[in-house]
A and B are shown apart, each in its own frame.
Chain A
């Protein structure tokens, strides 16, 4: 089909563009403390609910805190926690899935049955219950999302390893005496990495939304730590008075999630792999 052939180069450029954009976001989150125009936690009775101006680029919230600074610091919380969470669940899930697929038997049954049980719960319901019971805080929120988060990678990795196990070159590697570790790292891993990365990239947005949702409900990252979800929640009562306090973190969330989601799409299109079913 003529469209495909023409746009391989186009796909590559798109991928690089979004890698750069995502990189910029990560950079912003790292450099946030340096970029803040004001102290994100400094309250001020005099400056409550001020509209955007020179001193406060995004205005202030009901406590007089600079919304812009809080959005920047919030990027740290939101992006960092999501990326870290995805990284952890990615590694753990992929490892478990590969082991389950390669060795089969008890390991397979154990891993897969655990995943089945965890997946019997709707993901957010379990996350809310866990976070609600353990109390707030970023660690608990990440744990709550991570409990079911790894299963996606495990299932995908296992399915792919099962399929690859039957390939001739894997048989050849086995027969020539390669250890299981070697086969898994040198042969299997590079082949499954493509679709795994697509899943991971899409999951960043999912995790971000999940943690923001928990924070919004008050059982994730709690005040006074800056987090976009909790910012939206704390400012929504003053929606009429100071909409910027809600809109700024809202737009930041939307843009960030969209960039990471689109990045996932770009990776998938470029590598021409399936991303699996999104949760």
Chain B
């Protein structure tokens, strides 16, 4: 087990090197001159002199790999550069916004999961009943709705038509409702479909009929089924984190929720490249770490994976 974790950590290091390289490359290759972008973002008029000076001070004349190494070294110490727009350290901005995104993402995930798991179990056990048909219809619809669309529709009905919620989100619980719904509805729809499929597959396996014939109570049989299903369920949840992080950009922007997503979108509008860079690096790191934890959790659920090393 220890060996497996070690192997995964080594793999993690490689992935992070590649991720950081790609992120840096992305910025490096972006059209336009970095110094000009910085000055433009600050609204400073650009002359050749100022441009050259800025380039020097930004270290843009050094070879690519040196710039990359420098950036990585700083990043490892928690220094992700400063914003082009207002000069604040990127890391600080990310940190401040992180709290809001974490609240939004975790609430949405918890909501989606809490609704989806019982429904998927019920519809798997009671296939082809009215409950099953209705649930499958709604989860299909939910899965097909883009989150920006849900956001706008929620705004229209809950704020404009029925005046249930304020249009401008304050950072309170009330303000959390709409963005949370917007994120969790499509994810919930997907969860129900995929959890149900997995549970159905497990229910058809030999050990389930074996347990029934041994006289094991339904409750325990279900416990076994859920245990064996949890690998796939965890995979699905892990993938949904990526969807949440991406979806937060749209939803936070629409509802003005001051999280990482809004930060990134504002940075894109302002051409504030260090912030964009920091955002991409940060979210990728979080995503990779969460998937690593899930990978390790697999081996706890299905010990057979410890030897083979799990995953694809």
Contact = CB atoms under 8 A, between A and B. Distances in A.
B236 A120 contact: no
B159 to A, nearest CB: 9
Contacts of B247: 124
Interface in B262-312: 264-265, 268-269, 273, 276, 279-280, 283-284, 287-288, 312
Interface centre among A125, A205, A217, A261 (most CB of B within 10 A): A125
Interface in A217-232: 217-219, 229, 232
A258 B140 contact: yes
Contacts of A177: none
B243 A122 contact: yes
B160 A240 contact: yes
Contacts of B250: 213, 216-217
Contact of B287 (A122, A127, A229, A232): A122
A113 B279 CA distance: 23
Contacts of B147: 213
A233 B253 CA distance: 11
Contact of B146 (A126, A213, A219, A262): A213
A246 interface: yes
B270 to A, nearest CB: 11
Interface in A117-137: 117, 120-130, 132-135
Interface residues of B, number: 52
B312 A125 contact: no
A3 interface: yes
SS class of chain B's interface: helix, strand, loop or mixed? helix
A232 B145 CA distance: 14
A132 B26 CA distance: 11
Interface in A249-274: 250, 253-254, 257-258, 261-262, 265
B287 A239 contact: no
A125 B246 contact: yes
Interface in B159-195: 160, 190, 193-194
B245 to A, nearest CB: 4
B209 interface: no
A128 B264 contact: yes
Contacts of B22: 117, 121
Nearest to B186: A209
Given A117-B22, A250-B149, A258 B141 contact: yes
A250 B140 contact: no
A111 interface: no
A154 to B, nearest CB: 11
Given A120-B18, A128-B268, A134-B30, A216 B148 contact: yes
B156 interface: yes
B265 A277 contact: no
A146 interface: no
A236 interface: yes
A91 B22 CA distance: 24
B209 to A, nearest CB: 14
B246 A277 contact: no
B19 interface: yes
B148 A257 contact: no
A83 B236 CA distance: 25
A276 to B, nearest CB: 11
Interface of B: 15, 18-19, 22, 26-27, 30-31, 128, 140-141, 143-149, 152-153, 155-156, 160, 190, 193-194, 232, 235-236, 239, 241-243, 245-247, 249-250, 253, 264-265, 268-269, 273, 276, 279-280, 283-284, 287-288, 312
Given A122-B242, A236-B155, 13 more contacts: A120-B19, A122-B287, A128-B265, A129-B264, A133-B27, A133-B31, A212-B146, A213-B147, A219-B268, A253-B149, A257-B145, A262-B140, A279-B243
Among all A-B residue pairs, the 8 with the closest Cβ atoms: A124-B246, A122-B242, A132-B268, A117-B18, A209-B146, A133-B30, A122-B245, A257-B144
12 contacts: A113-B18, A117-B15, A120-B287, A122-B246, A124-B242, A124-B249, A217-B253, A219-B268, A236-B152, A246-B156, A257-B144, A277-B239
